[in-house]
């Protein structure tokens, strides 16, 4: 079994649509993804929120209820709201498997606000996973969070978007090494290609970053994610799969491949009862 641990859906009206690949102004829905999954023997996906609204949760949970290939939803709640946990409790939906605050668009120190920390601690106590949409600037703050809350289960999305285009490894690499020391942290090898239409990239340029992630987290704490349809800005789904094969699975044993393609996502998002 293969689980794509990170993909998105969004829906736009005719008036809002443009036709740029991966654009949020173009609809990308299950009927667009399903034939691609079938073609590449991808069995299940995790749909991750792409908008910081409660309506986004309802949209994705409806998809998960009606599409057998979508096994879970990483949703959103305003963690800077004292009522966040009560809001989350209203869903009572087994398809809601995690929460993602959109920290990419927030000040780095937002993660350390008192109300946010209080809510994150409650989520950690309930073993609800957190996706962290991090850039390199967030990594020192994530380390502070882990020092305060080592029991939190979090996944670094998109290997924290290091500056692959420049080839610079530091300070990203040092921060990631320290984050990997916390056993409840995992990393999605996703979002590796540029988020710019037609931008160039090479496996050779990306490989050192992925190798470091695989070395420090190990094959039991790394997950495959396509980041479809965002990836379409500069790569096709088959190219993303081939990139993962070339940078990750080519280094692994058969059992380790099962971990990165399936078992790690199943364990992190507690999907055992859903499969």
Task: Give how far Cα 154 sits from Cα of 197, 259, 262, 268, Å.
Answer: 30, 17, 17, 9
What is the three-class DSSP state of 210? helix
Task: Count up the domains in the chain and report the number.
Answer: 1
Range of the domain at 136: 3-274
3-state secondary structure 92-114: CCCCEEEECCCHHHCCHHHHHCH
Residue 177, pLDDT above cutoff 90: yes
Give the CATH number for residue 92.
Answer: 3.20.20.140
Reference 4, options 272, 233, 205, 269; nearest CA is 269
> Look-up: residue for tokens 């990306």?
206
Q: Which residue has the higher pLDDT, 5 or 13?
A: 5
Residues 6+ apart with CB under 8 A from 101: 52, 76, 79, 110, 111, 116, 130, 132, 133
Reference 35, options 228, 259, 248, 234; nearest CA is 228
Residue 21, pLDDT above cutoff 80: no
269 with 100: CB under 8 angstroms? no
Mean pLDDT to the nearest integer, 174-179 = 99
Q: CA–CA separation, 221 vs 176, rounded Å?
A: 13
Mean pLDDT of the chain: 94
Mean pLDDT to the nearest integer, 247-254 = 95
Q: CA–CA separation, 59 vs 25, rounded Å?
A: 17
Dig out the tokens for 33 from the structure: 């993804």
Q: CA–CA separation, 75 vs 53, rounded Å?
A: 9
Residue 169, pLDDT above cutoff 90: yes
Q: CA–CA separation, 103 vs 132, rounded Å?
A: 7
pLDDT of residue 92: 81
pLDDT of residue 17: 38
**pLDDT tens per residue, range 196-213:** 888 899 999 999 999 999
């Amino acid at each position: 079994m293969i689980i794509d641990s990170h993909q998105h859906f969004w829906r736009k009206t005719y008036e809002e649509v443009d036709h740029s690949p991966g654009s949020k102004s173009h609809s990308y829905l299950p009927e667009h993804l399903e034939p691609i999954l079938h073609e590449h023997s991808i069995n299940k996906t995790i749909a991750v929120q792409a908008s910081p609204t409660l309506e986004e949760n309802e949209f994705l949970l409806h998809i998960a209820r009606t599409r057998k290939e979508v096994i879970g939803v990483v949703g959103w709640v305003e963690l800077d709201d004292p009522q966040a946990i009560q809001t989350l409790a209203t869903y009572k939906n087994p398809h809601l498997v995690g929460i993602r605050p959109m920290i990419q668009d927030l000040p780095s120190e937002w993660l350390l606000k008192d109300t946010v920390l209080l809510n994150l601690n409650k989520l950690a106590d309930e073993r609800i996973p957190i996706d962290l949409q991090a850039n390199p600037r967030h990594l020192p703050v994530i380390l502070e969070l882990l020092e305060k809350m080592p029991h939190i289960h979090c996944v670094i999305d998109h290997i924290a978007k290091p500056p692959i285009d420049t080839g610079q490894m530091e300070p990203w690499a040092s921060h990631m090494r320290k984050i990997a020391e916390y056993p409840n942290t995992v990393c999605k090898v996703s979002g590796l290609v540029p988020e710019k239409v037609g931008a160039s990239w090479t496996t050779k340029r990306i490989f050192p970053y992925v190798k470091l992630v695989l070395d420090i987290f190990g094959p039991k704490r790394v997950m495959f994610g396509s980041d479809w349809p965002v990836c379409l800005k500069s790569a096709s789904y088959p190219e993303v799969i081939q990139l993962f094969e070339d940078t990750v699975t080519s280094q692994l044993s058969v059992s380790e491949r099962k971990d990165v393609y399936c078992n790690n996502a199943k364990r992190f998002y507690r999907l055992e009862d859903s499969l």
